[in-house]
């Protein structure tokens, strides 16, 4: 079945530094990838949608200069949290779908990245 690998699983960084999170579709081509943020005991909040080779579309209220998303290939998307601050600490999850088969794959999710900014 469809598999999405997200790396790293957890990361601790110092305030002011940048962190990159990778999301790879291992056995299918992901034309669209989604990045979510999840606070403790809460639902997933969509941050942005990225299509391969295009600029990401950010949801209202999400700072595009702070959360840089790159989707340079059909199997890799990255989220970079720039100049991280403690309030950016959260659980970040990526999801991938394939054009025309999104329903079939059901939006495969990565295992998430726990970011802690100290």
Partner 1 sequence: AQSVTQLGSHVSVSEGALVLLRCNYSSSVPPYLFWYVQYPNQGLQLLLKYTTGATLVKGINGFEAEFKKSETSFHLTKPSAHMSDAAEYFCAVSTGGGNKLTFGTGTQLKVEL
Where along the sequence are the contacts to partner 1 (CB under 8 A)? 4, 6, 31-32, 34, 42-44, 46, 49, 91, 93, 95, 97-104, 106-112, 114
Nearest residue (CB) to partner 1, 82 versus 112: 112
d(C-alpha 59, C-alpha 26), whole Å? 26
Smallest gap from Cβ 20 to partner 1, in A, equals 18
Smallest gap from Cβ 28 to partner 1, in A, equals 13
Strands (E), the chain: 4-7, 10-13, 19-25, 32-38, 44-51, 57-58, 67-73, 76-81, 90-97, 108-109, 113-117
Nearest residue (CB) to partner 1, 52 versus 82: 52
Report CA-CA distances (Å) from 95 to 9, 21, 43, 50, 118.
15, 13, 15, 10, 27
Place of tokens 């949608």: 49
Nearest residue (CB) to partner 1, 13 versus 44: 44
Smallest gap from Cβ 103 to partner 1, in A, equals 4
Smallest gap from Cβ 16 to partner 1, in A, equals 26
Nearest residue (CB) to partner 1, 42 versus 73: 42
């Amino acid at each position: 079945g469809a598999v999405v690998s997200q790396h790293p699983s957890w990361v601790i960084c110092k305030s002011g530094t940048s962190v990159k999170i990778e999301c790879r579709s291992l056995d299918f081509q992901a034309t669209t990838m989604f990045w979510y943020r999840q606070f403790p005991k809460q639902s997933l909040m969509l941050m942005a949608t990225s299509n391969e080779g295009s600029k990401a579309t950010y949801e209202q209220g999400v700072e595009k200069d702070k959360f840089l998303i790159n989707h340079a290939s059909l199997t890799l998307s990255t989220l970079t949290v720039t100049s991280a601050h403690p309030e950016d600490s959260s659980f970040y999850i990526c999801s991938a779908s394939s054009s025309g088969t999104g329903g079939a794959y059901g939006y495969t999710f990565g295992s998430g990245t726990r970011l802690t900014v100290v």
